[in-house]
Amino acid sequence: MGRLVLQPEIGCSPYARRLQKLDQLLVATAPLWQPHPFKTERPAWCETHPELTRALLGLDEAALAHYSSDNEALIRFIAGFIPQLAAIPSLIALPATEHKQRDEPAPHLGTGVPGRKWQQIRSLYHAMDEPQHAITEWCGGKGYLGRLLSMQWQQPVTTLEYNRLLVDAGRALADKFSANQQFQLVDVLHDQPGNYVRDKHTIALHACGDLHRELISQIIRYHPPRFTIVPCCYHLGRDTAYTPFNRGLTLQLSTEALRMAVNETVTAHHNEITKRNQDMAWKLGFQKLRERLTGNSDYYSFRPVPKAWLQEGFKLYCQKLCEREQLPLPTAVDWHAWESCGYKRRHDVMRLQLLRHCFKRVLELWLIMDMAVYLQERDYMVSVGVFCDKTLTPRNIMIEGRALPLSGYNGATK
């Protein structure tokens, strides 16, 4: 479904002013965050900022881990070399949403729900405004969140989901708990979901990409009384580039840039991080081998590698990749040398990409404020806040809105 007609320019609310500042910063610093050290061995900024480059490459593993997990410390460190980045903390600061004193959900309601997911649901329940209307759960899967809200607030819930298996499982769970919850098999991108939004409090927890963008379009079209949206996976969508909701913005984002906004590892376990590091090193080792065999130093993007290949050693990993990519191998290959090359490249990539990491939340806030301002200027009182700690989920930003009379609302926040 197409986007609605856009406003000719951004308004002057606090969110709009922040959006403009984020837009200006990201455009001015694009040469710093757009190049990906995984694809470009030495981005151009390494030449223009040699002291920063040396400092990053000289970080030991403890310092790397520290700066990878503490964004505030990372920004302070890099702002010592690029003072312009000192403006980032104030631009990305968001208030923590007040957690209301509410009855705790009965523990049995979380049976079968993955632990971290259940904690996210509980946090959202304590943070969001209490629905005063029937609830629509947008792209709700098995309806974990909707079921809890129905039980806690005695509101009827309609869960929309396009996967029939999830719908069937959700219905069984709703029956088991005697929840006032119904499921509708709906593809929100291709069906007509407007009647499920009209006059409802629509809630979307981690609806990805086009799914949350479509919900915003439906909200503007049908003007429901309230909504609660926690966006996720901004890069997932039908288009190859992001189209802002608001005109007057300069930044242009590709799908690759959108992916950067959600490239987080804070919720990963140690074993997962170790495997991810091996995966990166082997991919980089293969890239260098391919570069030598073809004489082409351009980055080569290949399809995802089956996880089983990572269990078979670097030699078989590369042999299978060469066979799949139709790349002939010479008789003699020094596999140890190429694997070592991959780990050396990983060492450099992990450090050089710290500069990009400074901008991940900046990009996400730009996307969030693009949505918030668009909704504000269409007769909604909008608030944006953090509903849980990032250790539960890095996608912890909640956008809530309450409809105002359709009388040209001026965009003030509550």
Q: Write the single-letter amino acid at 126.
A: H
Cβ–Cβ under 8 Å, residues 95 and 102: no
Count of residues for the chain?
414
For tokens 């009209």, the residue is 198
Q: DSSP letter for 326, please.
A: T
State the pLDDT at residue 17. Answer: 96
Q: Where are the alpha helices (DSSP H) in 305-334?
A: 313-324
> Which residues pair with residue 397 across a beta bridge?
386
Q: Give 14-18 contacts, CB < 8 A, sequence gap 24+.
A: 14/413, 15/369, 15/372, 15/373, 15/376, 15/382, 15/384, 15/411, 15/413, 16/369, 16/373, 16/376, 16/377, 16/411, 18/91, 18/365, 18/369
Q: Is the dihedral of CA 293, 296, 299, 303 positive or negative?
A: negative
Distance CA 414, CA 412 (A): 7
> Which residues pair with residue 205 across a beta bridge?
230
| Block mean pLDDT (10 aa), the chain, length 414 | 44 91 97 95 97 98 94 97 97 93 88 89 94 96 96 95 97 94 96 94 96 96 96 92 94 91 67 86 96 91 89 94 93 95 97 97 97 96 96 95 72 42
What is the chain's alpha carbon radius of gyration, rounded to the nearest angstrom?
24
Burial group, residue 401, by CB count within 10 angstroms (0-12, 13-18, 19+): buried
C-alpha atoms less than 13 angstroms from C-alpha of 375 in its C-beta half-sphere? 34
State the pLDDT at residue 114. Answer: 87
State the pLDDT at residue 264. Answer: 66
Distance CA 291, CA 294 (A): 5
Q: What domains lie within the chain, and their CATH numbers?
A: 109-241+377-403 (3.40.50.150), 270-353 (no CATH)
State the pLDDT at residue 413. Answer: 45
State the pLDDT at residue 262. Answer: 85
